[in-house]
Every structure is written in C-alpha cells, then in structure tokens.
Structure 1
C-alpha cells in the first residue's frame, strides 16, 4: 500500500509541475504509462504519434500526461511529459480498438521518485 501511495504522490507532484503553463480542462487529461524507448523518441521529437487502445474517448485537444515506466523493474523512472493530441486516426486498416494519436509535446519534467531520493541522501 505504501508503494501505491508513493506512486500516487509522484503522479500528483509531477502532474502539477509538468502542467505549469499548460491550459486545459482537467477532465481531458489522460494519465498514461510509456515504455522507455518510445517515451525517449517522443520527447526527442523523433516520434510524433502514440498508438493506444481506444478506450478513453480521446479527442483532438486532449492532453496526454505520459510517465516513463520500466516494465522489467516495475517502476516509474520519474520522467514525464505533457503532450496535446493534434489528430486522431481510427479505422483505415487499424485493428479494432486501436487508435493513432498525433501529438505535440508541450512540456517535459524529470522527477526523482521518493525511493531514489532516499538513496541519494544515504549515498
């Protein structure tokens, strides 16, 4: 339970920080995990789209709050970004239930998770 609370706190702190200066309706922010390689490609500008399950009612103008998540370690890295959906592709040969979201990255942030903060203080 403590890990879940820490993760919720990390999301809240990071979301507040990364959203500074980004205007949007809070109901249209989608918090999503992102694997390290596609996350890095998105932040660097090499990648301009996200393929996702179409289970959230995505709309043009929505904001994606992406948090880098390492599946092997089962942990968030602390890197986040906020991106705005600029175009949505459904159908046209995509499997049912998938969507391609074209995005513009609005801001990025690197927040050190609480566990790593403790390691730095000790080491």
Structure 2
C-alpha cells in the first residue's frame, strides 16, 4: 500500500476503499449475519481454498454448515482431501483442453473462419 495514499487506497484495495485483507476477514461475519436472518441458504464460493477457510469461520459464529447454508466450492482441486470437504462444482477443464487440442490442427494460423463453441458440463460432487 502507498503510505501517502492512506489506508484503503493502495493496490490491495477493493471496492469501497477497504483493504482486501479487511474485507476477507469480515466475510464470515457478513455471511453468518445473512444466514441468521434467513436471507442466505447457500453460497457458491470460488475457489476451493476460500470455501475451506470460510466454513470454520461460519461454524465459529454458530452457523451449522451444511445444515443452515450449503457451501459449494468451485474448482474441486483441493476440496476433497480436507477433514470436512465441501460439495464442489468441478469444471471439465481436462475435457475442454483435450477437445480444444483436437481442434487445433483443423485451424491454420490466421484463419478467421467460423468458430466452434464447446460446452462441456461441470460435475457436481456432493459431499457432507
């Protein structure tokens, strides 16, 4: 952070001028409050690490996960091996990469012909 700019205005600042670390530290408080008022019943958290860190913070505030809110991670790269793994959406990254590699030989460099759209579906791994 630029000391001359003051708190909440440096490269580590987010919307509203709050330093990113402060916003992340407050996330369990805000989320728990939203769950307790009945406004939130689930959250899709990108990425696994953030979901894994969020769950103990919610439990420390009296929120029962997954009974009160469902917490679903997105990516499913590290969500499975933790003590209480969250459910996770696993994008079909390898399938997408393999299909894209298969298409490459059909597209010469500089070719501006029609595009192909691939829509591999993610997998939902339900846990807990």
TM bucket, shorter chain: under 0.3
Q: TM-score, normalised by structure 2?
A: 0.24
Q: Which one has a larger percent strand, Structure 1 or Structure 2?
A: 1
> Which structure's CA Rg is the greater one?
2
Greater fraction helix: 2
Q: Which has the higher contact order (CA 8 A, sep 6+)?
A: 1
TM-score by length of 1: 0.25
